Amino acid sequence: MKIDRIELTHLSMPLKHPFETSFGLQTERECILVTAYAGGLVGWGECVALSRPAYSYETTGTAWHLLADTLIPVVLGQGWQEIGELVALTAWVRGHRMAKAGLQAAAWDLVAQRDGVSLATKLAEPYAEPPRERVAVGVSIGIQPTVEETLARIAGFLEAGYGRIKLKIKPGRDLELASATRRAFPEVPLMLDANSAYTLDDADLFRQMDDLDLLMIEQPLAHDDIYEHSRLQAQLATPICLDESVETPAQAGWALAIDAGRVINIKPGRVGGLWEARQIHDLCRGQGVPVWCGGMLETGIGRAANLALASLPNFTLPGDISATERYWERDVVEERFTLNAADSTITVPDRPGLGVTVDHKAVARYTLKNQVFEMASQ
């Protein structure tokens, strides 16, 4: 396979509802779509970097630069057959995993189409069991102005059929919120996401949460910390879930070795792509550590890829892959992912490749800029 043309499209899409975390408030979501052309096939990927360096040092600006000036020139016109060969071409580039993941996702779409199988089936090739047809999902609720408004949002999502609730927290909006939620919904699977907003000095606060029967507390400490998470986990009965701290399979191994967390959230963009995500999945599976697929407010392109990943065998916890209507009035794919309310699942696309049809009019509507890269004429 040889990619002879790549197109980058920088989008800005209005969110259906504002989404607040400890990083701040989002009303729009920027991303970069990567479109790769090879042998008559068209593959789509999504780079999930944010517009600001909050969750990660990467931004849409840095990702565009890396893609345009480094990654795309390296892969254009190069012959390869499987994703591992493509990954090897860019392995010398340090970091910039979200940029790499966007390009890699488009390549996965191409190879799955080439082989006439869904992306889920392509990802599941190393395993004895086929991918799941439906994956369990939950909903992530941003920080609301009041506890009462949070409880009302939860009630609405439970009524819609979501079976797991994740609450964003930050200092001053944590224990009271979590306690009130547990009193109001004593049986609901509940987790908290701190997005690195706390320090080890807050250990007592988290010890008080042990009585709330939480599924997990996600990334309470610094985004680049593993060691202090191990010290906090030793004081808690509640499992810690690592997110920002795990950017590579090696870091996942270090975290598991010192019991820095007992769950790992796998986001393909954060770890460099679906190839690396599958490696972390396999490592955790071998050690009996559950994983789940996190979300980055993806469009339908990124959402389809996340569903394919979450169909693998060790994704045993509900992921942050909510229905289309949770975030977008109009998505950039024609299909709308809907919640199967009876069991809080979403159906995995089963057509070749990503299994979605891009809505080119919607892409054009949200486009900030666009650039095409082609092989130099021989």
Buried b / exposed e along 250-266 (16+ C-beta atoms within 10 A)? ebbeebbeeebbbbbbb
* Active site annotation includes 369: no
| Cα distance between residue 260 and residue 240, in whole Å | 7
Residue with tokens 């919640």: 339
Structure tokens of 368? 């900030």
Structure tokens of 137? 């999902």
Residues 166, 168, 361, 369: which is the catalytic one? Answer: 168
Buried b / exposed e along 73-88 (16+ C-beta atoms within 10 A)? eebbeeebeebeebbe
- Give the SS3 label for residue 54: coil
* Active site annotation includes 16: no
Residue with tokens 């002879």: 4
217-218 vs 190-193, strand pairing mode: parallel
φ/ψ of residue 176, rounded to 5:
-60, -45
Residues 2, 166, 267, 361: which is the catalytic one? Answer: 267
Active site residues per annotation: 168, 267
